[in-house]
């Protein structure tokens, strides 16, 4: 009888996973964290098929494993027929041969494993009520399969690895220009997380694809990674970025104006890049970026005894000294954007939330209870800035003042999701964590996902 009950529970659990992966309950996986967002009432989101770039291999533009890169394209209509939004997908980096070899067996390193369809939500939605300014534009997601924010250019023959992010970027842009982007009267390059860093790196290059009469701007969502000291006094993210830059020869595609002043690893950090970008750029970032807290500020390597585990999984469990450390991180972020924010063409939306990637999720981009700064949701802020309706320099007050946040709470179970961000001390991929968002500071777990995590030792993906 017990066994029968267990079987029924497992069937129910796997049925839930199947539903969760459908159009109405889909998983977002950004930079090594599997973010499960429960479905909201209403019609399912637009699902857009994958297109592989057939001529890419002849140009050397291939994923880590040598397969063709790809993109998802939904054509614009009406007044947006000649407007283009290009979204660069995120998904971490690989910084060693071993981690890149692992990565090429995942959708972040091979088109063999990529989803054949992706949901277009948030800034990619085709519904005016969900995406008021960009819903009828030509909208594209360029898939990420190089492990260096679309910026590497090298190879390792012994490990059969192709580091061709720059060539993938160029091949994708050429393909889209051929599909009609060359006629664009306005264009926005966007990206989330590692893709948000890529949108900064490629912003001026994107501008150069169009005549001067075309309105061109760039948006970086959760891409403002700080060269910050971790809780042990080390530089976890600098070490990771240094490995990426050296392994994939990223310095070839970083601005010379930065390289003339700083080392290549420093020039891979957005805080040192933004002042070299001439094209109008908008930074959308959580002041307490959930990924950076997890993997840059308090990674396992810096906290082997797990003294930060409770705080990392739920900000409500942080003690006063941990909160002060996080406030110092926020202060560093605000200090690093001071010069950038002083120019009229730039835009800012830095909210005091424990979040990551807020433009692709409908609940954080534009919904009835979206995060706000001065009663302004993110979608309106970005739209006002792009269309020059107003200057947008929105910086939130410090935690815990904002009760509109959709904060991320991490489930304590280990995840079997194959995406990952960094490597552990023995150079093997770290376990990922499952995130469930909680409204404001309340711990409101999605009951189905929470039960699933209790029943199973991992999160299916």
Query: Which residues does the annotation mark as catalytic?
Result: 193, 289, 356
C-alpha 409/C-alpha 290 separation (Å) is 9
Q: Which residues contact 299 (CB under 8 A, 6 or more apart)?
A: 230, 236, 422, 430
C-alpha 104/C-alpha 156 separation (Å) is 13
Q: How far is CA 450 from each of CA 13, 79, 152, 312, 419, rounded to the nearest angstrom?
A: 11, 43, 39, 18, 21
Q: Which residues contact 27 (CB under 8 A, 6 or more apart)?
A: 20, 21, 34, 35, 36, 37, 461
Q: Which two tokens stand for residue 259?
A: 């390289």
Q: What is the DSSP string of 136-199?
A: TSEEEEE---SSSTT---EEETTTTEEE-HHHHHHHHHHHHHHTTGGG-SEEEEEEETHHHHHH
Residue with tokens 């140009």: 59
Neighbours of 42 (CB within 10 A): 11
Q: How far is CA 191 from each of CA 222, 388, 458, 459, rounded to the nearest angstrom?
A: 8, 21, 29, 26
Residue with tokens 């492990």: 147
C-alpha 155/C-alpha 164 separation (Å) is 8
């Amino acid at each position: 009888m017990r066994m029968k009950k267990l079987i029924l529970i497992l069937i129910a659990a796997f049925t839930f996973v199947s539903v969760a992966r459908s159009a109405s309950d889909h998983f977002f996986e950004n930079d090594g964290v599997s973010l499960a967002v429960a479905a909201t009432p209403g019609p399912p989101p637009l699902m857009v098929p994958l297109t592989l770039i057939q001529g890419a291999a002849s140009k050397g533009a291939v994923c880590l494993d040598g397969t063709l890169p790809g993109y998802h394209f939904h054509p614009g209509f009406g007044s947006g027929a000649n407007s283009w939004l290009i979204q660069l997908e995120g998904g971490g980096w690989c910084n060693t041969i071993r981690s890149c070899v692992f990565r090429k067996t995942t959708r972040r390193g091979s088109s063999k494993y990529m989803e054949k369809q992706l949901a277009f939500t948030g800034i990619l939605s085709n519904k005016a009520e969900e995406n008021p300014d960009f819903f009828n534009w030509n909208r594209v997601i360029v898939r990420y399969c190089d492990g260096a924010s679309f910026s590497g250019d090298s190879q390792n023959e012994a490990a059969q690895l192709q580091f061709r992010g720059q060539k993938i970027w160029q091949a994708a842009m050429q393909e889209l220009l051929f599909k009609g982007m060359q006629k664009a009267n306005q264009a926005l390059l966007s990206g989330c997380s590692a893709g948000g860093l890529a949108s900064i790196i490629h912003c001026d290059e994107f501008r150069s694809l169009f005549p001067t009469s075309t309105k061109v701007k760039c948006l970086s969502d959760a891409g403002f990674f700080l060269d910050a000291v971790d809780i042990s006094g080390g530089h976890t993210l600098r070490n990771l970025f240094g490995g990426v830059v050296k392994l994939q020869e990223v310095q070839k595609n970083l601005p010379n104006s930065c390289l003339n002043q700083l080392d290549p690893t420093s020039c891979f950090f957005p805080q040192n890049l933004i002042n070299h970008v001439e094209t109008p750029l908008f930074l959308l970032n959580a002041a307490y970026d959930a990924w950076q807290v997890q993997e840059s500020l308090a990674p396992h390597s810096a906290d082997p005894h797990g003294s930060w585990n409770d705080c990392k999984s739920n900000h409500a469990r942080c003690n006063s000294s941990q909160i002060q450390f996080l406030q110092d991180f926020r202060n560093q972020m605000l200090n690093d954007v001071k010069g950038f924010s002083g120019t009229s063409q730039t835009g800012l939306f830095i909210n005091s939330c424990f979040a990551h990637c807020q433009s692709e999720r409908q609940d954080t981009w534009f919904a009835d209870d979206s995060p706000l700064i001065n009663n302004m949701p993110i979608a309106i802020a970005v739209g006002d800035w792009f269309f020059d309706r107003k200057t947008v320099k929105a910086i939130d007050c410090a935690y815990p003042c904002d009760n509109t946040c959709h904060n991320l709470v991490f489930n304590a179970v280990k995840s079997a999701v194959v995406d990952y961000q960094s490597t552990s001390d023995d150079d093997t991929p770290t376990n990922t964590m499952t995130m469930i968002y909680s409204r404001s500071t309340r711990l409101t777990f999605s009951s189905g996902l929470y039960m699933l995590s209790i029943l199973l030792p991992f999160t299916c993906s």
